[in-house]
Every structure is written in structure tokens, then in C-alpha cells.
Structure 1
Amino acid sequence: MRIQQMRRGARYGMSCDDISPDVITISSWLSADEAKRKRRCDVRFALALKIQQVLSRELLFISRSYLEIGRAKRCRLHKLIRQRFAIALKIQREDFALLFHQSKDSVARFQQKRKRSSSRHESAGAKQLTIYEELRELDVNC
């Protein structure tokens, strides 16, 4: 026990002569212990504060990184959606153009058929008229 007191006394800047069961000595030890605890507490608090600052910076960096990743994913998704709609619109235009050209072709074919049939009727009518006129002339000469 005496050795511990000597070590404690040396630690607080007291010699063996100063160590006595005196109240002043004990109170100085207590105040020295309290100051040491306070310094340790201040150091721990400062260390905890630094750690908290570092962690908050890292957390901020991580959250910003996640935000950038989310933005990039959203942009890629919007790009894919735009491409899908562009392809659908292109297909729709091609289908419409195909239908439009087919209907144009069918109308043209119908008109050509009509012209052919009407020209046949006209030529047949003209033929009949010439035959009729020829027969009439023959009847007149008789």
C-alpha cells in the first residue's frame, strides 16, 4: 500500500515527504484525479466529435453517391422509355404508310379496271352502232 501511495504521489508531483494523512494532501489528490478525468473526458469528447464529423462527411458522401446513382438509373430508364416510344412511333408510321400506299394502289387498280370495263363497253357500243349503221345503209339500198 505504501508503494502505491509513493507512485501516486510521484504521479501528481508530490514527494514522499508530502504524503501524509493530511486533508490538504488528500484534497489535492482528489482535485488532481478530477483534473485528470476531466482531461480524459475532454480528449474523449474531442475524439468523439472528430469521429462524428468524419462519419457525417462519409455519410454525406455516400448519400450523394446514392443520389447520383439514382439519377443515372432514372436517366437510363427515361432514355429506354424514349427509345421504346420512338420505336413504337416509327412502327406506327411505317404501318400507316404501308396501309396508305396499299389503299392508294387498290384505288388505282379499281380505277384502271373501271376504265378497262368502260372502254370495253364503249367499244362494244361503238361497234354495235357501226353495225347498225351499215345494216341501215344496206336496207336503204334495197
Structure 2
Amino acid sequence: MLSADLRQTLVMTADALAGAQDPWWVVSSAAVALHGVAPIEVGDVDVLMSVADAQWAMDRLGVVPIEDGASALFRSTLFARWEMPPLVVEIMAGFHVATSSGWTNVLPRTRVPIFVDERVVYVPDRAELAEMLRLFGRPKDLERVRLLISQV
């Protein structure tokens, strides 16, 4: 069961992205929760989008890209935080993760629609989400993989 804050944030996100031209996905902990895994702690909602749609969404939402949004592990061509919903929504386009073979582009191949209060939110399928979280490799991501696989 989704928390009230997560549910409201996902509804606001789906409404805000309804005019997107390209596919978009909720990933990471929020996607794990949307697959029905419980308990799972969701601190924010991560959204992957195309560069054009991310720019459109940022303009529409009145948020500006963060220039220093990169870390040693992650970087994005465009990155912004939408702070109006109960949980922060991180909008990412051109998202990459650092791996042993260099920077690896992260763009889901699968797209599963999940209904949240009559809105559609898209996530990668379970197998691809687990693969993505393994690629991230942090302890919290590996725990999410364990929960995702054990609660089918």
C-alpha cells in the first residue's frame, strides 16, 4: 500500500507529465513500491525522461535545472527537483551511472502502466528494475532488489 504522501506525489507527477511526447518512467524506490513491495522507504520520486520532455516539464513546473546535480555515481544531461509535491520529484534526462566500464546510459526498455487514483504512472518491469538497481549497486539498491525479487 502506498503512503498518502507517495500517492499524492505520484498523482501530481502523472498530471504534470500528461502532455509528455516521449516515454517517461518512475524508477528506484518509488517504482519498487509501485510494484507492490512493502515495506519500502520512499524518500523521493525519481523520474527518467527524454531531454526535450524534461525541459518542457521543467518549464511547465517552473523549476530550473541544477547545474551541479552530478555525483561520483550518477550524472544527467538535465536534472531538477520539483519540490511542490509532498515528496520531492527528481526529474532526470540523459541519466548515466558510473560502472567499471565507464559511464553507462540508463534508459528503460520496458514500460509497465500502473494506475494510481485513476492516473497512469509508468515503471520498468520487475526484471528490468532489478537490473537497474543492481547497476546502481549501493547497499539500499541491493536491498530493494532483494525485496523486489522475494515479493512476487
TM-score by length of 1: 0.16
Q: Greater strand share, 1 or 2? A: 2
Tell me which structure has the larger Cα radius of gyration: 1
TM-score by length of 2: 0.16
Structure with the larger RCO, 1 or 2 (CA within 8 Å, 6+ apart): 2
Q: Greater helix share, 1 or 2? A: 1
